[in-house]
Every structure is written in C-alpha cells, then in structure tokens.
C-alpha cells in the first residue's frame, strides 16, 4: 500500500500548470469545413419538405446536430460511441435504401463497395474509443488501489466493484433483450456512469465517525475521500480539463453527428434524389478525417491522463485552509444550531466538533433531535456536555433534524466552536431487471 502521508488531492490551479506542458495541436481545419458542408447538404435534402412533414427521427436528429455538444468530457466520449454505432447501423446492407440494396447500376455497385469500407473504418474507431474508456477507467481504479491496504480490505473493494459492474452489465443486457434501441442503451450507460459518480461523491462527502469508519474498516485513506468528493465539482479540477481539451472533442462530437445526419437524410430521400458523386466524395473524406482526428485526439489525451497526478504535496497545492470545517463563537448564555432536512430513511447524519481551548478547559452542551411536521420533538442523542465529539447515526425517519450546541449554562465564557456536519444519503445498488424495464418503458 502506497503512503498518502503529506499528500492532498490535485487542485485546478495545479492541473492548469501541468496542462501547460501538454498543449493539444489543433484539429485539422477540415473538421469544421466538412462538418459545415455535410450539414448544408442535409439541409438541402430537407428543403422540399416542410418541417412538419419530416419524419420524427429526422427532426430530432437535425435538432441534435444543431445543438451544442455536452459539456462533460466523458459524456462526449459516450456520445461519440453512440453516434458511431448509429452510423454503423445505417451502413448495414439491410438498412440501405431498397434500390441501393439491389445494386442494379454500376454506380450503385461502387457506392455499396465504398459504404462497406466506411463501415469498417467506423468499426475500427469504435474499438479505439472502447479501448480508451476501458484503459482510462482501469488506470484510475488501479492508481486508487495502490493507496488501499493490500489485504482482505483491498480484495473486498475489488470484489465489490466487479459485482457492481456485473449488475450494470445485466441491466444493459436486459434492455437490449427487451428490444431497446442504441439510443436507449447509451442513455442507460450514461445513467450508470453518473450513478458511479454519485456513489463516490456520497462516500467522499461523509464526515465524522462515518468517515472514520470508511477509513479504517473499508480501508479508504482520507485523501482518497477528499479526492473523489471534489474531483468532478463544476468548478473543480476536471473543469480545467474541459476548458483545455473540451473544444476539440466537442468539434468531433458535432462532426460525427453531422455524418449520421447526412447519411440518414440521404437514405430518406434516396429514391427521389440519389447521392451525387461529389456528395459521396465529401462523405468519404469526412469519415477519413473524423476517424483519424478522433484517434489522434484519444492517443494524445490518453497520454496526458496517464501521466496526470492525482495527489500532490500540500505545498504544491497551496495547502488546505480549514478542510471543510466551520468555526463560530457561541456567546455565554446562547446556543448554536444546524438544521438538516433528510429526504430518505437510512441516511447517515454525522458530526465532528471540538471546542478550541485556551488556558481554561471548556466544554459545550450538545444534543440531536428530530422534529416532525406538527412540531413534536424526538430526542435522538441525549444532551451531554463535551470538549469534543465525533458521532453518527442512521435515520429511521425522514424529515427535519436539529443539531444543537448549548452554552446557555455559561454566565461569563464564550466558546469557540469548530465543527463539520454532513447528511449522507443511502447508497443503494439498483435492481438490474427493474431498472432496465423502467428505462425501456420510459423510452
């Protein structure tokens, strides 16, 4: 087990300095040129029809092509995979226009040959994206595991991850077997990705005894919990990554969407307007540019990610200020309280506090109570005076909870209170079959 002593999670400022050493060579100008060209051809194919007479699929696809790509890097990765698979479906012989399937003219025979070649290129691109995602995920997990105890606890963490991933794959399989579309499948895959993040964030936000239990019983070092809590914050370290490397990926997402739009529009109008030779050339060039630029980007970003640090020394990061604690002064004869609204039972309420002591030993009263909608109070933690305390409990009732620090018994002395309070929602593994069914029904 590697030591985390003296280390803190990476900060956005540190990543910014690190990324300065890895500027991405700009995408080929052909990316934007060919994207615009294919989009304009698609618009022309739609022109003779009013928007109301366009098939719903065409309208939705046009709207998506005209919208801004997602902001998150990993969501764009999934979006590229989804569009590649949709294009590969369009390039299957069974999805060609009927007249093209017959290949009754030399031009159709030549186009059919080219389409098969383009499908092979997209199949190769799909493998590159899948490999990148798998490698990146395993790399992160393996780095984290180097800071885990190399005993039964590390084994349990690996087994838990494997079990969770098997359940997620079962969800996907159930959706596919029930007739779910490519779009349905990728909506579920992205939901699963966000579920992974949410679970990590919930654990990383835990404090007090809950955090201590995670640290010592599960074996997760404190610095890892801080890392997983803040890594995906909207203005956290990953936002620097999005600003630096997001634009070229966004451009590639838009390009692959436009290639699909062009193919879909062409197949829809094929019996009336056959694909022209210059349009075929634009399509062939666009596919070649997209595949090569996507692979170049993934190779580059893969190297950046592989070498990117997860933890740095406090001096490098600029050190911590208060590590999430709040400080307040409770005047003599007064109280201080924190209120929490708990939406789900089996949530954990956790606290960690201490009195900042001077020359005189001091303490403060503390209790926790539940207040129902009628204002009736139920004492959860009986009143007692402490110099410091860590604690937590699992809620059996949703609703309003109040943590109260009491200095009303003091006539002369104010108390300097340092505290941290958290409410950790229950982490529940979804049922594969029911989730998959619900997703399919929603679609």
* Contact yes or no for 439/184 (Cβ under 8 A): yes
Render pLDDT for 389-428 as a digit per residue (tens, 0 to 9). 988 888 998 889 999 999 999 888 888 888 888 887 775 5
Q: Is 389 helix (H, G, I), strand (E, B) or coil?
A: strand
- Give, as one character, the DSSP assignment of residue 133: H
The HSE-up count of residue 208 (CA atoms within 13 Å, CB side) is 21
Render pLDDT for 128-142 as a digit per residue (tens, 0 to 9). 999 998 888 777 667
Is the whole model's pTM more than 0.75, yes or no?
Answer: no
Confidence (pLDDT) at 211: 46
- Give, as one character, the DSSP assignment of residue 214: I
Query: What would the DSSP string read from start to end of 253-318?
Result: HHHHHHHHHHHHHHHHHTTTSPPPHHHHHHHHHHHHHHHHHHHHHHHHHHHHHHH--SEEEHHHHT
Confidence (pLDDT) at 428: 53
Burial class (CB in 10 A: 0-12, 13-18, 19+), 240: buried
- As given in the structure block, the two tokens for residue 26 are 């700009």
Cβ of 381: how many Cβ atoms within 10 Å?
A: 16
């Amino acid at each position: 087990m590697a030591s985390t002593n003296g280390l803190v999670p990476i900060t956005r400022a540190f990543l910014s300095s690190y990324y300065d050493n890895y500027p991405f060579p700009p995408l080929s100008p052909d990316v934007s040129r060919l994207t615009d060209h294919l989009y304009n051809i698609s618009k022309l194919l739609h022109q003779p029809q009013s928007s109301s007479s366009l098939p719903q699929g065409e309208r939705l696809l046009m709207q998506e092509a005209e919208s801004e790509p997602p902001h998150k890097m990993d969501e764009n990765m999934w979006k590229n995979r989804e569009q590649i698979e949709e294009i590969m479906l369009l390039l299957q012989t069974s999805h060609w226009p009927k007249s093209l399937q017959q290949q009754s003219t030399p031009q159709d025979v030549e186009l059919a040959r080219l389409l098969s070649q383009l499908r092979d290129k997209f199949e190769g691109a799909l493998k590159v994206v899948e490999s990148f995602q798998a490698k990146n995920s395993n790399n992160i997990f393996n780095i984290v595991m180097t800071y885990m105890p190399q005993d039964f606890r590390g084994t349990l963490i690996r087994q838990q991850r494997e079990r969770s991933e098997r359940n997620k794959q079962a969800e996907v399989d159930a959706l596919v077997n029930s007739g779910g579309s490519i779009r349905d499948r990728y909506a579920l895959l992205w939901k699963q990705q966000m579920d992974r993040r949410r679970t990590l964030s919930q654990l990383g936000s835990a404090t007090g005894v809950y955090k201590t239990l995670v640290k010592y019983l599960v074996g997760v070092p404190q610095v890892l919990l801080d890392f997983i809590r803040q890594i995906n914050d909207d203005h956290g370290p990953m936002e620097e990554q999005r600003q630096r490397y997001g634009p070229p990926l966004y451009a590639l997402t838009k390009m692959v969407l436009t290639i699909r739009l062009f193919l879909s529009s062409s197949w829809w109008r094929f019996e009336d307007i056959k694909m022209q030779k210059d349009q075929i050339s634009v399509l062939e060039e666009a596919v070649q540019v997209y595949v090569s630029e996507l692979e170049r980007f993934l190779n580059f970003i893969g190297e950046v990610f592989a070498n990117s640090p997860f933890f740095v020394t406090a001096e490098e990061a600029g050190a911590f200020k208060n590590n999430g604690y709040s400080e307040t002064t409770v005047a003599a004869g007064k109280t201080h309280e924190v209120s929490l609204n708990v939406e789900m039972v089996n949530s954990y309420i956790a606290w960690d506090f201490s009195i900042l002591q001077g020359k005189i030993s001091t303490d403060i009263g503390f209790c926790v109570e539940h207040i129902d909608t009628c204002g009736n109070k139920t004492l959860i933690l009986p009143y007692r005076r402490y110099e410091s305390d860590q604690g937590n409990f699992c809620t059996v009732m949703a609703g309003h909870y109040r943590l109260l620090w009491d200095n009303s018994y003091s006539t002369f002395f104010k108390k300097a209170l340092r505290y941290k309070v958290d409410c950790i929602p229950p982490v529940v593994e979804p049922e594969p079959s029911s989730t998959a069914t619900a997703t399919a029904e929603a679609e």
